[in-house]
Amino acid sequence: MSTTGPEGSTALITGASYGIGADIARALAARGHHLVLVARSAEPLDRLAAALEAEFGISARPLAADLSTEAGMDAAAARAGDADILVNNAGAGLGLSFERTAWEEERRMLALNVVAPSRLVHAALPGMLRRGRGRILNVSSVAATAPVWQGTTYGASKAYALALTESLAHTRRIRTSPVALTALVLGHTVSEFHERAGIAPSPPSLTLASPYVAERAVRAILRRRPPVVCVPSVRYKLLAGLLRHLPRRVVALPLLADDFTVTSYEAPRPPYGAGEPRTGGRESAGSDGQDGVLPAEAHGQRERQP
Ligand SMILES: NC(=O)c1ccc[n+]([C@@H]2O[C@H](COP(=O)([O-])OP(=O)(O)OC[C@H]3O[C@@H](n4cnc5c(N)ncnc54)[C@H](OP(=O)(O)O)[C@@H]3O)[C@@H](O)[C@H]2O)c1
């Protein structure tokens, strides 16, 4: 990839059936990149692939795979070796405290959030270095920067994505190559994420629009020198910067930290992973708004639990 001229460049995006991954796919297709779209739900993937091919004249190949399984990881890894851009976006959270989850839920979440991205980076990196071009985007979270999402392994799993990215990106081997890794440190963004994790929707004043986030991320990785850490929106840049540098005892104050296992959205949740993947697709919600923050009316009706 010359980073701006995508001739023949292929991007593999996980979690592309809806949410932020679908918007990242759109942003890359709009710039002429061919796509491999990975998620469990075949129907939304097929629909998105067909729509992006028709709209942008690129080739988009759906790959239905469960990345919490060895077979799913194998299938995606087999395609990652040829990718010029790898976007490790698929991820999920758990709204129950660690001691209350079933181990199988934990195992699947850690496989999806930790093992699968590692596996795909491991599969993609040698080919990228050999070809002398490549970009890797690992989707992390503000929850990775400090223990603000307490009581569950989600924050730890996202801290891994950030640590893996930084640890590889700062090596001499990568720094002196045309390959770059970026961690996307995301704040609350409108998607299916919160509902599927069984947690309350985020405060409107802090919620970003998914197309905005996707556009920022794609612009960042296509720069000649991509940042190692990309935080979309000024207010999250400030927040993530503060969280990363404030002493832990300050960060853990109730004002900043949130024990989601106490404030959990109490409606019945689909059991993570055991739930069938979606069959119906949905356009990503929201308009960009100022600084990517959604206008309040774009939010769902549910309020955060006290
Ligand atoms: N939304 C937020 O506020 C927020 C904040 C910080 C970080 N993030 C991170 O952003 C990333 C994208 O999340 P999102 O907000 O777009 O969530 P989302 O709307 O729930 O989308 C998740 C995507 O991952 C796919 N996926 C889930 N389980 C999978 C599995 N086992 N195998 C393969 N694909 C799987 C889903 O498709 P299928 O169900 O069809 O498989 C879907 O395409 C995640 O890594 C999340 O941790 C989100």
pLDDT of residue 227: 98
**Test site for ligand 1: of 106, 115, 186, most ligand atoms within 8 A of the Cβ:** 186
Kindly report the average pLDDT of the chain as a whole number. 84
Closest CA to 67 of 86, 54, 82, 51: 86
Provide the pairing of β-strand 60-64 with 85-88.
Answer: unpaired
Domain ranges of the chain: 10-298
Which atom of ligand 1 is the closest one to the Cα of 21? 16
Which atom of ligand 1 is the closest one to the Cα of 18? 43
- Identify whether the C-beta of residue 286 lies closer than 8 Å to the C-beta of residue 210: yes
Residue type, 40: R
Most confident of 7-11, 172-176, 197-201, 204-208: 172-176
Residue 21's φ and ψ, nearest 5 degrees, are -60, -40
**H-helix segments, the chain:** 19-29, 42-56, 70-80, 103-110, 116-131, 154-169, 172-175, 193-197, 210-221, 234-245, 248-251
pLDDT of residue 194: 84
Q: Is the pLDDT of residue 171 over 90?
A: yes
pLDDT of residue 278: 57
306 vs 300: CA distance, rounded Å: 17
pLDDT of residue 225: 96
Angle at 263 between CA 259 and CA 266, to 5 degrees: 135
Q: Is the pLDDT of residue 132 over 50?
A: yes
Choose the weakest-confidence range: 50-54, 153-157, 199-203. Answer: 199-203
CATH of segment(s) 10-298: 3.40.50.720
Ligand 1 cavity residues, CB under 6 Å: 14-21, 39-41, 66-68, 72, 89-92, 112, 139, 141, 186, 188-189, 191-193, 196, 277-278
pLDDT of residue 253: 72
* The one catalytic residue among 154, 212, 236, 272: 154
Q: Is the pLDDT of residue 280 over 70?
A: no
pLDDT of residue 3: 42
pLDDT of residue 277: 62
pLDDT of residue 204: 78
